[in-house]
């Protein structure tokens, strides 16, 4: 029997008090379904090179984690990951900072081939892939692309990301490098391409959200609203999420629709992330100022328009918050998928569902046509969508919710990892060797 090896930037070892969310939950589901090894960084920085990986076995999964040295942390994580790839792939070109000593996990397939590995190796990119006109801003974009086509399968969240990847292939190797089946034939290799949107476990989310509704934390949140309606946003504190623009749009909503003043509260949960990256400290200050402006202008003695919380909550608790809210506000400036949007839909009471306001620049917008789609930089348009969501009648809310729920079930988390692994297996029949019983997947950090 073959086994699955997943290599990622960070590895989430389950703990009783913490439930992984987002992409980590998806990888965990894939590993649970097949067993195998999940390997990556522990999140800790050490003074010297680790002697070996730390292995923890839970159920059918072996979690292998290593610490990074300070140099690795600076050149790999703070450097190429957050200084170059993250802003570039999200189209923040002014924020791209590259130095030639930096490196990344993407050359994994090349390194495995050099060691004699013959098993199929796949790569899934959970963030957007930029068009070649933006990708050229990276001095080593040619080397990056060469490393990517060493994988047997490269998969993306959306067809648009896949087409952007092909634009770089054509730029480097010409239109003849695109095979008849849409894959890549270049540098003596054949690479399969696909778009496989990551999903969520709909039934698990529905059950968790319903159970959380009676929890102390959710009951306190509802009691604190004092009968007011709630608009909710849940995001990591990241400049790609459009949080400053979102706060400004909500302030404009209160200005243009003053009947909502004192009647609607915006709850934004934004846990701190990447606190050692300078851009995130600046973002935090900007958000605090935006929230302060809105609250200073519109707050009353018994009402705070924006409740801005920089803390983590258990995943189940957040799902309960979503279920208790009338509007989900998901307005990233660019996002590969955005599972918060899908979780909001799945968490709703189908008899009385809330309405999702969703950025057209999130990959989820390609699937969730029942949402109110907006340009995240259009503050007036976002304000108008919030008003429309709050005024939407029950039959329309139910119809929109049912439509999106059907899509979520069709493209759920099981479908994602099943399609990816089956597609990977179909790309390659390895020759007999000591390594041929292992399938390897990698994902971007």
String of DSSP letters for 234-299: E--S-GGG-HHHHHHHHHHHHHH-GGGTTTEEEEEE-----TTSHHHHHHHHHHHHHHHHHHHHH-
How confident is residue 274, by pLDDT bands cut at 50, 70 and 90?
Answer: low
Q: Tell me the C-alpha distance between 185 and 174, whole Å.
A: 10
Residues 28 and 13 occupy one common structural domain? yes
Which among 28, 73, 104, 126 is annotated as catalytic?
126
How confident is residue 434, by pLDDT bands cut at 50, 70 and 90?
Answer: very low
Mean pLDDT of 241-264: 97
How confident is residue 33, by pLDDT bands cut at 50, 70 and 90?
Answer: confident
| Counted domains in the chain | 2
Question: Has 131 been annotated as catalytic?
Answer: no
Residues 270 and 328 occupy one common structural domain? yes
CATH classification at residue 434: 3.40.50.2000
Residues 385 and 396 occupy one common structural domain? yes
Say if CB 140 and CB 146 are below 8 A apart: no
Domain of residue 436 covers: 3-198+412-443
* DSSP type of residue 146: H
Question: Has 150 been annotated as catalytic?
Answer: no
Span of 240-254, 373-387, 421-435 with lowest mean pLDDT: 421-435
Q: To the nearest whole number, what is the mean pLDDT of the chain?
A: 92
Which among 150, 235, 335, 412 is annotated as catalytic?
335
Res 270: pLDDT: 92
Residues 222 and 149 occupy one common structural domain? no
**pLDDT at residue 443 above 70?**
no
Over residues 211-242, the pLDDT tens digits come to 999 999 999 999 999 999 999 999 999 999 99
Residues 341 and 228 occupy one common structural domain? yes
**pTM of the predicted protein model:** 0.92
Higher pLDDT, 442 or 354: 354
**pLDDT at residue 388 above 70?**
yes
The helix or strand, by DSSP H or E, that contains position 361, with its residue range, turns out to be none
CA torsion 323-327-328-331 (nearest 10°) is 180
Residues 218 and 87 occupy one common structural domain? no
Span of 19-33, 125-139, 349-363 with lowest mean pLDDT: 19-33
Residues 8 and 83 occupy one common structural domain? yes
Residues 406 and 438 occupy one common structural domain? no
């Amino acid at each position: 029997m073959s086994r699955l090896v997943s290599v990622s930037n960070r590895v989430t070892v389950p703990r009783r008090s913490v439930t992984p969310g987002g992409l980590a939950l998806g990888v965990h589901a894939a590993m649970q379904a097949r067993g195998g090894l999940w390997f990556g960084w522990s999140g800790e920085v050490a003074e010297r090179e680790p002697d070996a990986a730390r292995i923890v076995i839970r159920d059918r999964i072996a979690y292998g984690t290593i610490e990074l040295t300070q140099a690795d942390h600076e050149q790999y994580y703070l450097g190429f990951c957050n200084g170059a790839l993250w802003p570039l792939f999200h189209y923040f070109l002014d924020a791209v900072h590259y130095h030639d000593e930096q490196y990344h996990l993407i050359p994994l397939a090349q390194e495995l081939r050099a060691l004699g590995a013959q098993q199929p190796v796949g790569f899934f990119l959970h963030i957007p892939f930029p068009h070649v006109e933006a990708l050229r801003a990276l001095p080593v974009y040619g080397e990056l692309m060469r490393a990517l086509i060493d994988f047997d399968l490269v998969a993306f969240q959306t067809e648009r990301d896949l087409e952007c990847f092909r634009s770089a292939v054509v730029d480097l190797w010409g239109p003849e490098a695109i095979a008849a089946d849409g894959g890549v034939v270049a540098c003596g290799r054949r690479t399969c391409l696909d778009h496989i949107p990551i999903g969520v476990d709909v039934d698990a989310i529905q059950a968790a959200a319903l159970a959380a509704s009676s929890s102390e934390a959710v009951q306190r949140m509802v009691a604190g609203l004092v009968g007011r309606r709630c608009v909710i946003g849940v995001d990591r504190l990241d400049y790609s999420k459009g949080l400053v623009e979102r706060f400004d749009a909500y302030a404009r909503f209160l200005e243009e629709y003053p009947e909502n003043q004192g009647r609607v509260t915006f709850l934004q949960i934004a846990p701190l992330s990447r606190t050692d990256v300078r851009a995130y400290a600046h973002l935090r200050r900007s958000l605090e100022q935006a929230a302060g402006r809105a609250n200073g202008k519109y707050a009353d003695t018994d009402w705070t328009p924006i409740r801005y919380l920089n803390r983590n909550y258990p995943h189940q608790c957040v799902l309960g918050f979503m279920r208790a809210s009338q509007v989900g506000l998901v307005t990233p400036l660019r996002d590969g998928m955005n599972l918060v949007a899908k979780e909001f839909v799945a968490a709703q009471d189908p008899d009385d569902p809330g309405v999702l306001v969703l950025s057209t620049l999130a990959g989820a917008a390609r699937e969730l046509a029942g949402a109110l789609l907006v340009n995240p930089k259009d503050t007036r348009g976002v304000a108008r969508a919030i008003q429309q969501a709050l005024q939407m009648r029950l039959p329309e809310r139910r119809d929109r919710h049912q439509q999106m729920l059907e899509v979520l079930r069709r493209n759920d988390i099981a479908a994602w990892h099943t399609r990816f692994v089956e597609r990977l297996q179909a790309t390659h029949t390895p020759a007999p060797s000591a390594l041929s019983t292992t399938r390897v997947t990698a994902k971007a950090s």
